[in-house]
A and B are shown apart, each in its own frame.
Chain A
C-alpha cells in the first residue's frame, strides 16, 4: 500500500504561522486531506481536496500540494490549534475505496 510521511512534532509561537508537511507518492495523483485530532476526540476534517475547508473551519487553515508533498498551513496559530494533525489520500495501490494516512504531527503552540 502507499505510504505518507509526516514530521512527528512541530511547534509554533502563538500568533505565528506554521506549516505541517506530508510526503508520499500517492500525492502525485491525489490531493491530501487534513484532519485535526484533539485528546479524547474523534478526528475532524479541516482541509480537503484543492484547499477546501468544511463549514465551520476557520480560514486561518489552508492547504497546498506540489509534486509528492502536501502542506497544511495555519496562519496565526491559536492556542486551540494545539492538536495532532493527520494527512491522508487515496491509496494508489487500491481501488477507489482504499485510503492511507500519514503517521501524524503533534503541533505544540508555545
Chain B
C-alpha cells in the first residue's frame, strides 16, 4: 500500500523552530518529487515547498523562503521540512505529498503546527 505518514508537529512560540518528517512506503520514493502543502484552520490548501526526485531542485512559496528548508533522505524513504522563525500565520495542518508530472497524487494524513505565545 502506498502510504505517507507525517509527524513532528506541535506547539511552538513565535520565532521558534520545528522539524516535520514524512515516512514513505509502498513505492519507489527516490523516483518521485515530494512536496509539503499546508492548510490553515478553516482555510484552503497552500503549496509550501517542493524537492525534485534527485534533490537537484528545490522550490519554496514566497512567504516561507529563507525560513523553511525541505530535504529528503532516499536511503530512509523520508522527507523533512525544517521550519525556523515561525510566525502565527504558519499555524496549519502540514501535509506531505507525492508529486508526479501531472499532479499531487498521494497525501499523508497531516501533522498540526501551532505557533502561539
- Known: A1-B62, A45-B105. Is A97-B52 also a contact (CB below 8 A)? yes
Interface 0/1 of A8-37, CB less than 8 Å to B = 000000000000000000000001010101
The DSSP consensus for interface residues of chain B is strand
When chains A and B are docked, how far (Å) is the Cα of A55 from the Cα of B82?
33
Chain A's interface size range is 20 to 34
Q: Which one, A42, A100, A103, contacts B107 given CB within 8 A?
A: A42
Interface residues of B (CB under 8 A from A): 33, 35, 37, 44-47, 50-52, 57-59, 61-62, 95, 99, 102-105, 107-110
Known: A33-B102, A44-B107. 11 other contacts (CB 8 A): A42-B110, A49-B103, A96-B57, A97-B50, A98-B59, A99-B50, A99-B104, A100-B47, A101-B44, A102-B44, A103-B44
